[in-house]
Amino acid sequence: MGFFDTFGETVAAAGKTVGGKTKEMAGAARLSLQITQEESRLSRAFAALGEAYYRDHKDDMPEGYGALAADIEASAARLESLKQEKQILKNQKRCERCGAWMPADDRFCGKCGADNERNAGEDENKTTEEAL
């Protein structure tokens, strides 16, 4: 066996090792991605189970779940408050009758037709003035 034959085998063997490492790395990256995807799927499944359980038991929550339920209620209240703040920034108000969001300057609700200025103090005076 000559030098070039041995050299050729060595290069080929090194090539196989590099190829093997590359395959291993690709395999590891693929598995990392699959693990991340499966963890995400598991989280969503737990969240869906928790939501379903909360919906069915929020009025008769077993004792051990009290703190978790309180977290959900506090978070839901903060979320509602943030949404209201955002709507106020967008110059929106809630209909006094049905709760739908509507432009702050509008008098009648676009959803239920309620007159949203009838009960406002300022407009009571206006109504009184109009009545006189």
Query: What is the binding site for Zn ion (CB under 5 A)?
Result: 95, 97-98, 100, 109, 111-112, 114
Closest to Zn ion by CB, 8 vs 110, is: 110
Closest to Zn ion by CB, 19 vs 103, is: 103
CB of 108 to Zn ion, least distance (A): 9
Helix (H, G, I), strand (E, B) or coil at 109: coil
CB of 80 to Zn ion, least distance (A): 18
CB of 111 to Zn ion, least distance (A): 5
Q: Return the H-helix or E-strand segment holding 126.
A: helix 121-131
Closest to Zn ion by CB, 21 vs 97, is: 97
Closest to Zn ion by CB, 54 vs 96, is: 96
CB of 103 to Zn ion, least distance (A): 12
Which amino acid, one-letter code, is at 17?
T
3-state secondary structure 39-88: HHHHHHHHHHHHHHHHHHHCCCCCHHHHHHHHHHHHHHHHHHHHHHHHHH
Burial group, residue 109, by CB count within 10 angstroms (0-12, 13-18, 19+): buried
